[in-house]
Amino acid sequence: MRGHAQQEHGQGDGAHGDGHTHDHHGHGASGCGGHAVSVEAMIERAERLCQARALQFTRLRRDVLAAVAAEHKPLGAYDIAERMSAPGRRVAAVSVYRALDFLTEQGFVHRISSRNAFVSCGHEHGAGAGLVFLICRTCGGIDEMTAPAVESALDQTLAGAGFTPTSRILEVEGECGACRGRGDAPEAS
Ligand SMILES: [Zn+2]
Ligand SMILES: [Zn+2]
């Protein structure tokens, strides 16, 4: 179990009254310990949904999802292929890409464009939900959020421009709260 590092929000208490958006972004996911659902729960859920949607949850798809879900950071297709390969069993990146296409379509993973990499999603947001990814440059961690206010403002702007989006995924780079706390920089807010 890697990647679960110190996700306790142990920086004083209180202090963040205002619009503090972090780990617990009310996606209705239960047992959200820090950033995500366990790998097992993720696989189970994917299996259940595939069954409900009459789709094949092949071993390859399952293994790819497991590899992505086990990692707190976004993984590229080649990294995934490497992780899944064992002596005598090489997994081709092209197969991984195909599985990732499927998993992305089904909403089990998201593609982080700026990294050309993938993260798993244990949330229950709808397919058309506008998402915001907070990408930490220090630890490489990714936090996924929905931001309805941003979304409606963006919708208005797009409508004004006569533009129809096929996706509305925002990626914001910076430093996460945990890293900032570790860097004992004076908290200027
Ligand atoms: Zn998601
Ligand atoms: Zn960080």
Amino acid making up residue 127:
A
What tens digit of pLDDT does each residue of 17-59 get? 343 444 433 333 333 334 557 899 999 999 999 999 999 999 9
Q: Which residue has the tokens 């997994």?
A: 91
Distance 66 CA to ligand 2 centre (A): 23
Distance 115 CA to ligand 2 centre (A): 16
Distance 36 CA to ligand 2 centre (A): 15
- DSSP symbols for 25-86: -----TT-BTTB--HHHHHHHHHHHHHHTT----HHHHHHHHHHHT-SS-B-HHHHHHHH-B
User: 126-189, what's its fold?
Assistant: Dna Ligase; domain 1 (3.30.1490)
Distance 53 CA to ligand 1 centre (A): 18
Average pLDDT over residues 90-106: 95
Q: Specify the CATH number of the domain 34-124.
A: 1.10.10.10
Question: Domain coordinates of the chain in residue numbers?
Answer: 34-124, 126-189
Rg of the Cα atoms in the chain: 18
Closest ligand to Cα 119: 1
> Given this chain, do its domains 34-124 and 126-189 carry the same CATH topology?
no
pLDDT score of 161 more than 90: yes
d(CA 118, CA 29): 20
